[in-house]
Copies of this chain bind each other. A is one copy, B any other.
Amino acid sequence: MNIASKIFNSHSKEDGDFFLAMTRILGFKPRKLGVYKKAFLHRSVNKRDKKGNPLNYERLEFLGDAMLGTIISKHLYTEVPAGDEGYLTKMRSKIVSRKHLNELGKDLNLIEHVESKIPKAHFGDNIHGNVFEALIGAIYLDRGYTYCEKFIHDRVIVPYVDIEQLEGKVISYKSLVIEWCQKQKYSFEYEVYEDTGNDPVKHFGVKLYINGKVMAKARATSKKKAEEKASKRAFYALQDRISKN
């Protein structure tokens, strides 16, 4: 009997659904399901534990925020050996900016699981980032540092952390590619399609055609990101071609 069916039998169907949803989001099986439930509990529900302490995601958010900062710090320390303390601090705040965290939470569609007395439409954008941080706090408590690091690596660093772009050296590869095509009088087209495959999160695929030929392909969790990724690939391929001419 697998863990999911154990939960189906011993708990409610709701718990089983939540377990499966968490497994998809996390990329591993949660152990203490209650901690994850807390990560999605809005204060408006007004839940309390046996001792009367409020139960909602805000304390987990405090924990997840700290852990996220640490993992990103370690990544920057290793990846940018030339950056001094001030530079590393600046890069870290760009990566863990409110805007960025909201985007991350939105892409994982975390709000779908939020339990609240307030209609979800009434929430501002920050709930996405707050719940994302709380989720990291829950992973830390449930599975410890190593799982936390892996989750942040897979969900934040790999898809989002492009140090050159953060440095503002390149604002958008898409605009660089379009500019180049226009200068060369080449036609270009971004063909976008849904390509979710086995992923829990919606994915988009993009083919970038230049003069009718596929120049680059990419896949990401938003159209914009997929276009940007394909543009970056095309940009480097084009640079390569230009330097060979």
Residues of A within 8 A of B (CB): 49, 51, 53-54, 58-59, 61-63, 66-67, 69-70, 73-74, 77, 81-85, 88-89, 137, 140-141, 145-146
Closest-CB distance, A134 to chain B (whole angstroms): 10
Chain B residue nearest to A49 (CB atoms) is: B81
Known A59-B88, A62-B73, A66-B73; judge A51-B81 contact (CB<8 A). Answer: yes
15 additional A-B residue pairs with CB within 8 Å, beyond A59-B88, A63-B74, A66-B70: A49-B81, A51-B81, A54-B84, A58-B84, A58-B85, A59-B77, A61-B85, A62-B85, A62-B88, A62-B89, A63-B73, A66-B74, A69-B69, A69-B70, A145-B146
A66 touches B69 (CB 8 A): yes
Closest-CB distance, A125 to chain B (whole angstroms): 19
Q: A51, A84, A137: which has the most chain B beta carbons within 10 Å?
A: A84
Given the complex of chains A and B, what is the CA–CA distance between A58 and B81 in angstroms? Answer: 12
Q: A54, A70, A84: which has the most chain B beta carbons within 10 Å?
A: A70
Given the complex of chains A and B, what is the CA–CA distance between A73 and B61 in angstroms? Answer: 11
Chain B residue nearest to A55 (CB atoms) is: B81
Interface of A is mostly: helix
Chain B residue numbers with a CB within 8 Å of A66 are 66, 69-70, 73-74
Chain B residue numbers with a CB within 8 Å of A61 are 85
Chain B residue numbers with a CB within 8 Å of A85 are 58-59, 61-62
Given the complex of chains A and B, what is the CA–CA distance between A145 and B82 in angstroms? Answer: 24
Closest-CB distance, A170 to chain B (whole angstroms): 23
Chain B residue numbers with a CB within 8 Å of A53 are 81-82
Chain B residue numbers with a CB within 8 Å of A141 are 77
Which of B70, B81, B146 contacts A70, CB < 8 Å? Answer: B70
Given the complex of chains A and B, what is the CA–CA distance between A70 and B141 in angstroms? Answer: 12
**12 intermolecular pairs with C-beta atoms under 8 Å apart:** A53-B81, A53-B82, A59-B84, A62-B88, A62-B89, A63-B73, A63-B77, A66-B70, A67-B70, A77-B137, A77-B141, A145-B145
Chain B residue nearest to A81 (CB atoms) is: B53
